[in-house]
Homo-oligomer: A and B are copies of this chain.
């Protein structure tokens, strides 16, 4: 049956995340049972800031950008979530709106769980709570780190850090536009393009429309750069 197959897929998606490894198949099945899927095409809005949170979202396929808009049209990217990554860890607990919006940047399918279903389950597994706390800790540390970088690092250095971060997560071929990089580094598209021109001159990268290829992965590694958490 196709339905069974689908359920299996969901179970395999859930198992490796948040500490669900230790959980029995039967239990995972229960939770997978009351989940459902939703598809979004490239560029579609998944949720917007200020909306109440009713569901817990996990990316099944594709790529999602979670970001924040400033009052003068600026935007920063807070999280890039791929397969198996959750979009909103806090929301299900409070149900309250957050200052985050999520947008698919590829064709994406999302697994949704009602808050209650996710929570009922979570409360029974301390290790899941622990892992969520740990992730939120990283998120906070990373955000604070970015604030510091805004103060003491220049655009170029922040961009190298962004490239390094993305390389660790996605490999050497990064299919993002300069605007995407700018939103990650907290700068403008123009400054990003200028910096990229520099990097190209130095032989650090190669670039086509909508993608950057990192030529010398070792270089950034050796710089002693920390990575952000995205």
Contact = CB atoms under 8 A, between A and B. Distances in A.
Interface of A: 68, 70-72, 74, 76, 78, 89-91, 93-94, 96, 98-100, 119, 123, 126, 129-130, 132-134, 136-137, 139-141, 143-152, 186-187
B133 A93 contact: yes
Contacts of A187: 151
Nearest to A94: B134
A147 B99 contact: no
A126 B92 CA distance: 13
A41 B201 CA distance: 54
Contact of A151 (B76, B98, B134, B143): B76
30 contacts: A68-B145, A70-B151, A71-B152, A72-B152, A74-B151, A74-B152, A76-B144, A76-B148, A90-B136, A90-B140, A91-B137, A93-B129, A93-B130, A93-B133, A94-B130, A94-B134, A98-B137, A99-B145, A100-B141, A119-B126, A123-B129, A139-B140, A140-B140, A143-B143, A143-B144, A146-B147, A147-B150, A147-B186, A150-B150, A151-B186
A136 B93 CA distance: 11
Contacts of A123: 126, 129
Contacts of A148: 68, 70, 74, 76
A144 B93 contact: no
B151 A90 contact: no
A94 B152 contact: no
A187 B107 CA distance: 41
A84 to B, nearest CB: 21
Contacts of A78: 144
